[in-house]
Amino acid sequence: MPLLAFDHVNIRTANLAEMVAWYEEVLGLTRGPRPPIKAPGAWLYLGDAAILHLIEGDPAPSAYSEGESLRMEHMAFRAQGLAAFIARLEEHGIAYRRAPFEAMGTVVVNLRDPDGNHIHVDFPATES
């Protein structure tokens, strides 16, 4: 049974509305159809794919603390438009760390969502 494709990530949150708004405003994902599931939540789409499922946590997940190890390490996106993305982060007051990753020919922008989940967005090195 070979794997065919990556489908989605599901993240529990106690801040559903804030997380939906953040992923829409900062990363440009769009809220879309979600089947009738008992637990409150939202599906966020990249194009036609529902890649991020948010579900209201019960109990709420613990807050992120620097140095912890028992959490998803990160999710990553490929993108274009580094300067516009940095401007968007600064407009929203979002802390980020920009790092070249020569081995992959990319510039990585590391940031955290409102719940502390690590995200990196990879841009072509030619945009740095």
DSSP output for 14-48: S-HHHHHHHHHHTT--EEE-----SS-EEEEEETT
Q: Where exactly does CATH 3.10.180.10 map onto the chain?
A: 1-61, 73-128
Sign of the CA dihedral running 49, 53, 54, 55: positive
CATH number belonging to domain 1-61? 3.10.180.10
| Per-residue pLDDT, 50 | 95
Q: Which fold has domain 73-128?
A: 2,3-Dihydroxybiphenyl 1,2-Dioxygenase; domain 1 (3.10.180)
Place of tokens 């499922």: 53
Which amino acid makes up residue 43? W
**What DSSP element (H or E) covers 82?**
helix 82-91
Which pLDDT value is given to residue 53?
A: 93
In a 3-state reduction of DSSP, which class is residue 104?
helix
**What's the CA gap between 22 and 52, in Å, rounded?**
12
Contact assessment for residue 83 and residue 92, using Cβ atoms and an 8 Å cutoff: no
Q: What is the mean pLDDT of each run of 10 residues along the chain (128 residues)?
A: 78 92 97 92 96 82 67 84 95 95 90 90 92
